[in-house]
């Protein structure tokens, strides 16, 4: 099972049409493929948790990378395993006697993915970010750099993802795990659009490795945690709504608190700008007034009160803000302009995610469904869109 972080269907559409990703094309031809709808907010942590728990965010509790603890007024990082509610499929498989391997690019995800996974019993859980520091006690494997035969990859590189796949291939060759979860990082998709050569090279590299996994006998499942959209104008400037500045001007400083739940420790490639933010009302401003102030701002797709946001997007109420704001595909939302550092974009167009427009993801299996799952796929639960047909019969998009 591979989560292609930021793997927007647009990349597959481009490279399938070019014939650049033959292994994925074969999976789609011989196996199964649809576009599925991921969790909103379309961020990394909520969707990885939905994938490995099989539950919506309302149940697993991880509705972003950050939430505001209203008791302390502190923004809390949501990557701790203690915040994840319920068991993971990985831990349940391991408890039932299966050998499980979980590898992620960024270490922030490792602990949640590894929740309840007993690494002393031959299971493995590590990140390529911390590959050089793996120990048997903590990760169930050591000498990972030697095992993989690649140098420790840089945080901002495509190698951080390729290392995950290479490690998965080595472990599949040597240990034959029953379940392998490989979660990549979206650095490439944040930086490069589908037509850019670096993105094409990345997809060719990962496609080759998917082919190798299948060759080794794995049933390969591919999906993504979220898509990616270009959110810059014709001149290359990011289309940003600085929501905290707008609300401060209207209600005064301190009355509202805008939290950008895309934020993590590595934001250079997107400046912590995404398509989904949360607003807590801390002073006199009431949620209805805040919503009225945001309605009608160009680039805003929806403004929801807490109850509606939880119902529509299946989110945990105890971690939700008073107001949820989602932007259109072409726009992103920030807090105060002064708080966001966009220097890391280095002249690249801003590409990011978080909204409903980035929630559609590919869902591909290297083998066909059995009858039971064919019925499930036909039901509303997968909300599938057969837009990949042309890859199968060459007759164009349908």
Which residues contribute to the site for Zn ion (CB under 5 A)? 5, 44, 186, 225
Cβ distance to Zn ion smaller for residue 159 or 225:
225
Cβ distance to Zn ion smaller for residue 6 or 334:
6
Tell me the C-alpha distance between 133 and 182, whole Å: 19
Both tokens assigned to 392: 């199968």
Both tokens assigned to 396: 């164009």
C-beta neighbour count of 69 within 10 angstroms: 10
Tell me the C-alpha distance between 125 and 143, whole Å: 13
3-state secondary structure of 395: coil
Smallest separation (angstroms) from Zn ion to the CB of 359:
12
Smallest separation (angstroms) from Zn ion to the CB of 153:
17
Cβ distance to Zn ion smaller for residue 5 or 322:
5
Smallest separation (angstroms) from Zn ion to the CB of 50:
12
Cβ distance to Zn ion smaller for residue 166 or 225:
225
347: left (phi over 0), alpha (psi -120 to 50) or beta: left
Smallest separation (angstroms) from Zn ion to the CB of 274:
10
Cβ distance to Zn ion smaller for residue 5 or 159:
5
3-state secondary structure of 391: helix
Cβ distance to Zn ion smaller for residue 44 or 128:
44
Both tokens assigned to 90: 């990985």
Tell me the CA distances in angstroms from 283 to 92, 250, 253, one per residue in order. 45, 13, 9
Smallest separation (angstroms) from Zn ion to the CB of 73:
28
3-state secondary structure of 313: helix
Cβ distance to Zn ion smaller for residue 50 or 256:
50
Smallest separation (angstroms) from Zn ion to the CB of 51:
11
Tell me the C-alpha distance between 33 and 388, whole Å: 7
Smallest separation (angstroms) from Zn ion to the CB of 191:
13
Tell me the C-alpha distance between 58 and 14, whole Å: 34
């Amino acid at each position: 099972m591979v989560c292609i972080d930021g793997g927007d269907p647009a990349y597959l559409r481009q490279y399938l049409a070019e014939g650049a990703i033959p292994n994925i094309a074969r999976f789609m031809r011989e196996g199964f493929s649809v576009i599925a709808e991921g969790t909103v907010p379309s961020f990394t942590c909520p969707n990885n948790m939905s994938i490995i728990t099989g539950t919506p965010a309302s149940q697993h509790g991880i509705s972003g990378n950050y939430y505001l603890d209203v008791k302390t007024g502190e923004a809390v990082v949501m990557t701790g395993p203690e915040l994840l509610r319920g068991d993971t499929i990985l831990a349940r498989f391991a408890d039932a006697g299966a050998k499980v391997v979980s590898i992620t690019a960024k270490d922030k995800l490792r602990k949640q993915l590894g929740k309840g996974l007993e690494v002393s019993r031959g299971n493995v859980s590590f990140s390529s970010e911390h590959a050089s520091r793996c120990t048997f006690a903590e990760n169930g494997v050591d000498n990972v750099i030697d095992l993989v035969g690649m140098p420790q990859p840089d945080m901002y590189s495509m190698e951080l993802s390729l290392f995950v796949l290479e490690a998965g291939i080595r472990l599949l060759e040597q240990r034959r795990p029953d379940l392998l979860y490989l979660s990549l990082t979206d650095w490439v998709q944040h930086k490069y659009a589908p037509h850019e050569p670096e993105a094409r090279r990345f997809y060719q590299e990962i496609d080759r490795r998917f082919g190798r996994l299948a060759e080794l006998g794995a049933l390969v499942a591919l999906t993504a945690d979220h898509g990616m959209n270009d959110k810059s104008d014709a001149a290359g400037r990011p289309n940003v709504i600085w929501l905290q500045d707008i609300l401060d001007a209207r209600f005064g400083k301190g009355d509202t608190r805008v939290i950008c739940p895309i934020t993590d420790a590595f934001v250079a490639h997107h400046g912590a700008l995404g398509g989904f933010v949360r607003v807590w009302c801390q002073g006199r401003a009431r949620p209805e007034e805040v919503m009225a102030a945001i309605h009608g701002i160009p680039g805003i797709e929806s403004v929801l009160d807490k109850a509606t946001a939880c119902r529509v997007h299946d989110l945990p109420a105890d971690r939700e803000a008073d107001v949820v704001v989602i932007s259109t595909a072409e726009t992103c939302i920030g807090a105060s302009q002064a708080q966001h550092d966009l220097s890391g974009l280095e002249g690249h167009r801003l590409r990011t995610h978080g909204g409903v427009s980035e929630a559609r993801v590919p869902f591909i299996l290297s083998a066909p469904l059995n009858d039971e799952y064919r019925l499930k796929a036909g039901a509303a639960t997968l909300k599938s869109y057969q837009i990949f047909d042309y890859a199968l019969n060459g007759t164009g998009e349908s």
